[in-house]
């Protein structure tokens, strides 16, 4: 067990471990502050964690609800004198009904705390930088990068060894770090810090009524000169278009007694709070939707720390998996660890489950539960729920949620292409022996702000030889590439870009048009979308999901100088672009023979090892063609035969699979299936 170096509250990060993440090539961001847009009203939490704060017998021994403004004993110490927090109250100007006055945050509203009516405090970074006018960026009362520090007066906790900090918060962030810092000596030194909101995406925000709670016993418990400091650090590095912006609203701060028994998920030493490992390989993409033909095993793990005051014994991860009807399929259990004293932690090397493979297409609910002798499965508050799917046709890196959008202006040098990686190592299950998979198209979620006149080129590339920076090997061509013209009807939703072609099949005297999917050999491929805006200042803007930090080459993008990257520094803005592969089925044609045709010719043996014969009832001239299901011609010959003559053929050079043999002549025009074993 290890002490948790930084305690995390109810908000947390779900992502992959460092071993996979370190393989990424990360780019500086070139993201700009944006006017509030209802496309993303707030951040979508990566998981649906049950509120871990147990409302049991708890004594509050210090509180501040800002009913009378910022208390007289509190102080501020921004990096410049004008970098200050403000009070919004019933009689102030602006009053409690006004949140940010900044040019970009207008419309985001105010904190919805229990006592918001009597006032709250805000650090209005957006307004401090631009004075409420977008064109005046950097000309406001306190231009970014700026730091706002709001410090309490001293608090006597000498009789309180076990201490919980709670408060209500509302924040919208651009490039900002949010901290609560702690002092044991009346502010002479600040040795302990909690970082907040690192899971909130750039240009997104938290809930308006987010309640946070932390065990701060190790920071200020038992101290007679305790102090706290709330820090808006608008100087976060990693973006060439500036830092800071937007706001942090704060209310209803309390220090109170701890619950006795409580465990919490936590990021630890670079490993995420919860994780899922696909196919036993941390470098495997974490797919929110697996294609049925590419279904692989899953295992689950987590890190926890003891938030409560009592020691926890036999700490175990239990993962319950439910099917789409809510039926419990299985419960996976890890080894048990402990004893775990207050603030001690237990990591994924102990709390990991056996492998499990989904039985088939369905929507599955996965519930992480951390239990102990004092916290059985039925009552533990430490739970987290995620959903994933196994689909007959869809294959998606994203987990069905939109956390943010990225676009052509999101990277240094501009982003010109983005892609996702898909493993298609197993052939189509309905065409055994073909060595092929079939692609119906690509689904992309495009923002309403995308240039509706833009063009997209969607290409399938083999991953062999791909390297960050260099990209694809010299001379590498896509397996398939198509260009699509956008229109307004394709924006603001998930849109299908087809990879099928129209073909005609002659069947029992009738030509029928059918949609034939693109066939490609089994392998691992990138689906790469290249962006070509046409409108002046037009952009292409795609939704992103940040449920898990994706490993290595799971998602990639290219900048205008030709370099390829796997994400951005200090950001999860680009993790799982909603660029989904639509996997089709092998073409199915009804090519059965009519009785009259059976009397005119026969093909045998069928199935064949490649060698066979055709017996013609009527003599004459015929054209014989053999094609595979992709339309590639493997035989095309003219022949003349006598009545009841046998014509031999040899196709043993072809791979096993289903082929179409077309025979035309002497009033006959027929296609049959020929299976080569």
Q: Is residue 26 part of a domain?
A: no
Q: Are residues 606 and 553 in the same domain?
A: no
Side-chain-side CA neighbours of residue 433 (13 Å): 12
| Structure confidence by residue, pLDDT tens digits, 475-532 | 789 999 999 999 999 999 999 999 998 766 555 555 567 788 998 999 999 999 999 9
Q: Are residues 237 and 289 in the same domain?
A: no
| Residue that terminates a domain, selected from 392, 416, 449 | 392
DSSP state of 489: G
CATH number of domain containing 482: 2.60.120
Residue 54 has pLDDT above 80, yes or no: no
End-to-end CA distance of the chain: 58
| C-beta separation of 255 from 61 below 8 A | yes
pLDDT value for 23: 63
Select the more confidently predicted residue: 473 or 628: 473
What is the mean pLDDT of the segment spanning 31-49?
A: 59
pLDDT value for 507: 53
What is the mean pLDDT of the segment spanning 275-301?
A: 96
Cα of 655 vs its chain's centroid, Å: 38
- pLDDT band of 420, cuts 50, 70, 90: very high
CATH number of domain containing 664: 2.60.40.3080
Q: Are residues 479 and 383 in the same domain?
A: no
SS3 250: strand
Q: Is residue 268 part of a domain?
A: no
Q: Give DSSP secondary structure letters for 145-196.
A: SEEEEEE---B--TT-SSEEEEEEEEEEESB-EEEEEEESBTTS---EEEEE
- pLDDT band of 591, cuts 50, 70, 90: very low
Q: Is residue 510 part of a domain?
A: yes
Q: Is residue 263 part of a domain?
A: no
What is the rounded distance in angstroms from the CA atom of residue 443 to the CA atom of residue 394?
9
Q: Are residues 344 and 412 in the same domain?
A: no
| Structure confidence by residue, pLDDT tens digits, 388-414 | 999 999 999 999 999 889 999 999 889
The domain total for the chain is: 4
SS3 325: coil
- pLDDT band of 256, cuts 50, 70, 90: very high
What is the rounded distance in angstroms from the CA atom of residue 479 to the CA atom of residue 525?
9
Residue 544 burial by CB count (10 A; 0-12/13-18/19+): exposed, middle or buried? buried
To the question of pTM greater than 0.75 for the whole model, the response is: yes
Q: Are residues 330 and 438 in the same domain?
A: no
Cα of 522 vs its chain's centroid, Å: 25
Residue 302 has pLDDT above 90, yes or no: yes
Q: Is residue 264 part of a domain?
A: no
- Phi and psi (nearest 5°) for 66? 60, 30
Q: Is residue 8 part of a domain?
A: no
- pLDDT band of 200, cuts 50, 70, 90: confident
- Give the CA angle between residues 464, 465, 466 to the nearest 5°: 95
Q: How far is CA 541 from CA 232, 331, 491, in A?
A: 29, 40, 10
Long-range own/partner contacts, residues 532-536 (CB < 8 A, 24 or more apart)? 532/454, 532/455, 532/456, 532/457, 533/408, 533/451, 533/453, 533/454, 534/451, 534/453, 534/454, 534/455, 535/451, 535/452, 535/453, 535/454
CATH number of domain containing 81: 2.60.120.200
Residue 21 has pLDDT above 60, yes or no: no
Q: Are residues 102 and 219 in the same domain?
A: yes
pLDDT value for 37: 65
Q: Are residues 560 and 413 in the same domain?
A: yes
- C-alpha radius of gyration, the chain, whole number: 31
Residue 91 has pLDDT above 90, yes or no: yes
pLDDT value for 589: 53
DSSP state of 53: -
- pLDDT band of 369, cuts 50, 70, 90: very high
Residue 471 has pLDDT above 80, yes or no: yes
What is the rounded distance in angstroms from the CA atom of residue 229 to the CA atom of residue 193?
9
Q: Are residues 355 and 457 in the same domain?
A: no
- In terms of Cα–Cα distance, which of 274, 399, 389, 390 is closest to 334? 274
| C-beta separation of 158 from 223 below 8 A | yes
Mean pLDDT estimate for the chain = 88
Q: Are residues 431 and 300 in the same domain?
A: no
pLDDT value for 161: 94
Q: Is residue 290 part of a domain?
A: yes
CATH number of domain containing 313: 2.60.40.10
What is the rounded distance in angstroms from the CA atom of residue 607 to the CA atom of residue 609?
7
| Residue that terminates a domain, selected from 392, 414, 430 | 392
Q: Are residues 432 and 575 in the same domain?
A: yes
| Residue that terminates a domain, selected from 392, 427, 443 | 392
Other beta carbons within 10 Å of 471: 18
- Residues 6 or more apart whose CB falls under 8 angstroms from that of 487 comprise 452
- Return the minimum-mean-pLDDT range out of 83-92, 125-134, 462-471, 652-661: 652-661
As a dihedral over the C-alpha atoms of residue 156, residue 159, residue 163, residue 166, rounded to 10 degrees, the angle is: -50
| C-beta separation of 204 from 137 below 8 A | no
What is the mean pLDDT of the segment spanning 566-585?
A: 92
Q: Which domain holds residue 666?
A: 595-676
Select the more confidently predicted residue: 348 or 108: 348
150 beta partners: 76, 230
- pLDDT band of 357, cuts 50, 70, 90: very high
What is the rounded distance in angstroms from the CA atom of residue 36 to the CA atom of residue 42?
10
| C-beta separation of 480 from 520 below 8 A | yes
| C-beta separation of 526 from 388 below 8 A | no
- Return the minimum-mean-pLDDT range out of 134-143, 302-311, 572-581, 590-599: 590-599
Q: Are residues 313 and 245 in the same domain?
A: no
Q: Are residues 573 and 611 in the same domain?
A: no
- Of the chain, the percentage scoring pLDDT greater than 70 comes to 90
Q: Is residue 242 part of a domain?
A: yes
pLDDT value for 53: 44
- Of the chain, the percentage scoring pLDDT greater than 90 comes to 70
| Structure confidence by residue, pLDDT tens digits, 322-333 | 999 999 999 999
Q: Which helix (H) or strand (E) holds 493?
A: strand 493-498
């Amino acid at each position: 067990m290890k002490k948790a170096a930084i305690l995390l509250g109810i908000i947390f990060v779900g992502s992959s471990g460092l071993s996979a993440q370190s393989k990424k090539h990360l780019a500086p961001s070139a993201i700009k502050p944006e006017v509030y847009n209802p496309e993303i009203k707030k951040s979508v939490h990566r998981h649906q964690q049950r509120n871990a704060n147990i409302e049991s017998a708890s004594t509050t021994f210090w509180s501040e609800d800002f009913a009378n403004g910022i208390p007289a004993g509190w102080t501020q110490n921004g990096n410049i004198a004008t970098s200050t927090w403000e009070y919004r109250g019933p009689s102030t100007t602006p009053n409690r009904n006004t949140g940010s006055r900044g040019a970009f945050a207008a419309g985001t509203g105010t904190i919805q705390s229990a006592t918001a009516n009597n006032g709250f405090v805000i650090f209005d970074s957006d307004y401090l930088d631009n004075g409420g006018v977008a064109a005046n960026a950097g000309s406001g009362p306190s231009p970014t990068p700026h730091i706002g520090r709001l410090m309490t007066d001293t608090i006597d906790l000498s009789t309180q060894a076990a201490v919980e900090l709670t408060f209500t918060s509302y924040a919208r962030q651009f490039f900002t770090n949010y901290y609560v810092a702690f002092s044991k000596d009346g502010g002479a030194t600040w040795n302990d810090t909690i970082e907040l909101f690192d899971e909130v995406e750039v240009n997104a925000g938290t809930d308006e009524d987010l309640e946070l709670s932390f065990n701060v016993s190790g920071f200020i418990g038992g101290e007679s000169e305790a102090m706290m400091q709330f820090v808006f650090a608008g100087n976060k590095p990693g973006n060439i278009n500036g830092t800071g912006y937007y706001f942090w609203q704060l209310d209803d701060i309390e220090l109170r007694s701890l619950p006795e028994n409580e465990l919490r998920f936590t990021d630890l030493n670079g490993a995420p709070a919860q994780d899922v490992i696909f196919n036993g390989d941390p470098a495997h993409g974490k797919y929110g939707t697996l294609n049925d033909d590419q279904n692989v095993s899953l295992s689950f793990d987590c890190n926890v720390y003891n938030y409560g005051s009592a020691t926890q014994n036999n700490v175990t991860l239990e993962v319950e998996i439910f099917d789409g009807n809510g039926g419990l399929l299985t419960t996976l259990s890890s080894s048990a660890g402990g004893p775990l004293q207050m603030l001690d932690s237990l990591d994924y090397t102990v709390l990991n489950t056996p492998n499990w493979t989904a039985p088939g297409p369905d929507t599955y609910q996965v519930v992480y539960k951390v239990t102990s002798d004092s916290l059985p499965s039925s009552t533990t508050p430490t739970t987290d729920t995620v959903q994933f799917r196994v689909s007959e046709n869809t294959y998606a890196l994203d987990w069905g949620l939109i956390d943010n959008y990225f676009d052509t202006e999101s990277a240094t040098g501009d982003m010109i292409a983005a892609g996702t990686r898909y493993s298609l190592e197993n052939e189509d299950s309905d065409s055994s022996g073909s060595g092929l998979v079939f692609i119906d198209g690509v689904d992309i979620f495009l923002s309403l702000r995308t240039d509706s006149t833009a063009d997209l080129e969607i290409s399938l590339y083999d991953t062999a030889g791909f390297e960050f920076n260099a990209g694809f090997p010299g001379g590498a061509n896509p397996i398939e590439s198509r260009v699509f013209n956008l229109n307004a009807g394709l924006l603001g939703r998930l849109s299908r870009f087809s990879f099928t072609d129209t073909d005609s099949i002659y069947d029992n005297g009738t030509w029928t048009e059918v949609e034939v999917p693109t066939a490609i050999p089994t392998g691992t491929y990138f689906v790469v979308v290249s962006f070509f805006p046409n409108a002046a200042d037009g952009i292409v803007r795609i939704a992103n999901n940040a449920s898990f930090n994706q490993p290595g080459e799971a998602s990639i993008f290219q900048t205008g100088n030709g370099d390829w990257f796997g994400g951005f520094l200090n950001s999860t803005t680009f993790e799982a672009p909603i660029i989904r592969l639509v996997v089709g089925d092998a073409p199915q044609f009804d090519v059965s023979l009519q009785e009259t045709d059976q009397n005119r010719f026969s093909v045998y043996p069928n199935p064949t090892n490649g060698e066979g014969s055709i017996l013609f009832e009527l003599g004459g001239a015929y054209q014989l063609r053999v094609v595979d299901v992709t339309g590639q011609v493997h035989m095309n010959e003219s022949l003349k035969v006598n009545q009841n003559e046998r014509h031999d053929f040899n196709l043993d050079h072809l791979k096993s699979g289903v082929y179409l043999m077309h025979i035309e002549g002497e009033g006959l025009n027929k296609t049959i299936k020929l299976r080569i074993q």
